[in-house]
Amino acid sequence: MLKIYLARHGQDEDNVKGILNGRRDKPLTPKGTEQVKEVAEKIKDSGLNFDKIYSSPLKRTYKTAKIISEALGMGKPSVLQDLIERDFGIMTGKHISQIEEMCKPYILKTETITYFLKPKGAETFPQLVERGKKLLSKIRKLHPKGNILLVTHGDIGKTIYAAYYNLKWKDVLTMFHFGNSDLLLLSKNSPAEEAYVFKSDQYNL
């Protein structure tokens, strides 16, 4: 049986400043590195092993994947382009305080995040779900069984989860917060509502 583990990168320089990063390629902060090291130790202490680790091409995710792989004594992570964060379009580099003024009425507010749904130039969530389905199909072909870790980002991470469990993306956006260094399990034997493996302390959104 194939088990897909999904991790979000640690805190990065845009996260701590409240900047919408999207595909901006900022590195982890010292706090972000600390978060990742903590979850890597939790993974190691739990006896969990991965047959392969894949990462988004951006610095914050690749460093996260590398820290985990080194803690487990594995080789370098492999890059998968489809794990890259959503293209935020005109919202790239904007402060989170600008979301409502620039994106109303096409927003979705949750307890932790205000999602912008279709600003100019941005990928939409339906497009992200389709990318998630494409990615999952690729992973299943490469790995019919085993434990696979995908290190990715907030928005695309949630839509991979939605695609795996065949859930509506709007429902998933409001279900939970996929925080920095959180780890989820996507498995036929793991119900959608029990996906969390490890939650990390959060210092930003």
> In angstroms, rounded to a whole number, what is the distance separating the alpha carbons of residues 178 and 162?
12
Contact 178/15 with Cβ under 8 angstroms?
A: no
Per the annotation, where are the binding residues? 8-15, 60
Query: What residues contact residue 145 under an 8 Å CB cut-off, 6+ apart?
Result: 1, 2
Indicate the annotated binding residues for substrate. 8-15, 60
Distance separating alpha carbons of residues 94 and 187, to the nearest angstrom: 36
Q: For the chain, percent helix, then strand, then coil, each to nearest 5?
A: 45, 20, 35
Structure-block tokens of residue 181: 């260094």
> Strand 107-109 vs strand 196-198: parallel, antiparallel, or unpaired?
unpaired
- For residues 98 and 19, give the distance between their C-alpha atoms in angstroms, rounded to a whole number: 10
Q: Name the residues annotated as catalytic.
A: 9, 85
